[in-house]
Amino acid sequence: MSLADFDDFTDNEDASVIAAFTDKEIVDPKAVKPEGWDDDEDGEWSAPTIEHPVLETFKSISGSSYDYRFAFTSAPEVLEKLKCKKAGLFLYRSPKFLSKKDGDRPRERFPSDTLTESAVKNWLSAKAQPLVGLFSSSTKERYKGAVLVVFLNLDFEKNGQSVEYVLKRARKAAAALKKEGKPLAIAVARLSDMNYELADYGLTSTKPTADILMGLRVGSDYNFKYYSSATYFDEKGTSAAFSGKTLSAFADAYLAGELTPYVKPDEPPPADDEEPPADYDAEGEGEGAEDKEEM
């Protein structure tokens, strides 16, 4: 991985996990000189090398963690940028959502030289998301508690002003909730990617490039409750149009226990296109039913 590769990899909407190694191979510490080895006849003995055990563990973890982006490097210029003098694991938060002003740190370093799958996954789950991060199919399970999701046209180039408008107000609300210790996270989602989930929240998008919708998900392990901002504001008789004020009102209503979970209506049974035969007997189930009952 060159410096250019590093910059490209970390310039992403999701977090980047990078393992760095000064050496990808090390001398096998368990190797011993074979019995009967003769330096004169067999040559000077040297211990064999093995793959760095941390790299081996990292590959195993990255191979089983499909909801994170992984890379590793031993390039001197990247090690210098990382200020890494030995093996280390680094997490870079997405620069697309990073807000240093609100306390987001660009990177985190795993606090141990030893990696275990459970420890690394717990660390990533706790650290990967910034104050207001991306809620997507690969990141949504990082939100273990209640999360208020703002669905919008998340196009940083074509819809940049609207995206910045939403992020600014979402961060202000999230920072206040965090300061007060309130158990509610705030995230943003790409409307086009999450459109299939809107029905769970009781939301409908009619203008995919302009809609800004809010929903709230509570729970974990697929046992979720969903709340609709549209339903809440309809009950209040006010507009659900997104603003800093409506976002905070929706969050406060949840924290005050004022929201009722949205219940998705049952889907109607599929239509039966086949007409019953003319001589069909609903009770006897067809022609000849009487004869069969008598036999």
pTM of the entire predicted model: 0.80
Distance (Å, whole) CA 26 – CA 42: 23
pLDDT surpasses 60 at 285: no
Distance (Å, whole) CA 229 – CA 191: 15
Distance (Å, whole) CA 43 – CA 8: 47
pLDDT band at 223; cut points 50, 70, 90: confident
Q: What is the mean pLDDT of the chain?
A: 86
Q: Which of 176, 264, 179, 181 is CA-nearest to residue 215?
A: 264
- CB of 289 within 8 A of CB of 281? yes
**Cα-based torsion angle of the residue sequence 260, 266, 267, 271 in order, rounded to the nearest 10 degrees:** -150
pLDDT band at 152; cut points 50, 70, 90: very high
Query: Domains in the chain, start-ordered, CATH in brackets?
Result: 1-121 (3.40.30.10), 131-267 (3.40.30.10)
Name the more confident of 139 and 279. Answer: 139
Average pLDDT over residues 8-35: 83
Summarize pLDDT for 33-50 with one digit per residue, the tens: 788 777 777 778 776 776
Distance (Å, whole) CA 142 – CA 294: 66
Pairing of strands 132-134, 213-220: unpaired
**Is residue 293 within a helix (H) or strand (E), and if so which, with residue range?**
helix 289-294
Question: Length of the chain in residues, anyone?
Answer: 295
Q: Which residues pair with 187 in a beta bridge?
A: 133, 149
